[in-house]
Amino acid sequence: MIKRLAISAAAMTAALAVTNVALADPVADFYQGKQINIIVGTGGGGSYGLYARTLGPYWQKYIPGHPSIIVTNMGGAGGRKESNYIYNVAVKDGTKVGMP
């Protein structure tokens, strides 16, 4: 009886170990080799641009798949131009992020 229980426990452990190895991370697969654009709604040289450029390396380190981070400035109308771009034009898959 104990031998059967030990064999059963070993088989369950092996089955669980195999299934954990077979699982893939869909987030890492999505961001692998991609680029995330942080679009700042002010002109260059401002504090919001500095915040975005400071935040970029941390995002790159902690987002699964380690995508490259690009910060661009889109000044105009107090951030409205950037907000309209994010809402109306940008792809809605997480690769374009606005910082108005």
What letter does residue 97 receive in the DSSP assignment? E
CA distance 30 to 27: 5
Average pLDDT over residues 39-68: 89
CA distance 49 to 77: 16
pLDDT by residue (tens digit) across 4-36? Answer: 656 666 666 666 666 555 566 788 888 888 999
Q: What pLDDT does 17 receive? A: 63
Q: Which of these ranges, 17-21, 46-50, 81-85, 95-99, has the smallest mean pLDDT?
A: 17-21
Q: Return all residues near 55 (Cβ < 8 A) that are at least 6 apart.
A: 38
User: Residue 52 corresponds to which amino acid?
Assistant: A
| Cβ proximity of 41 and 82 under 8 Å | yes
Average pLDDT over residues 41-68: 89
- Write out the E strands in 1-100: 35-40, 68-73, 96-99
Q: What pLDDT does 15 receive? A: 62
Q: Which of these ranges, 21-30, 57-66, 83-92, has the smallest mean pLDDT?
A: 21-30
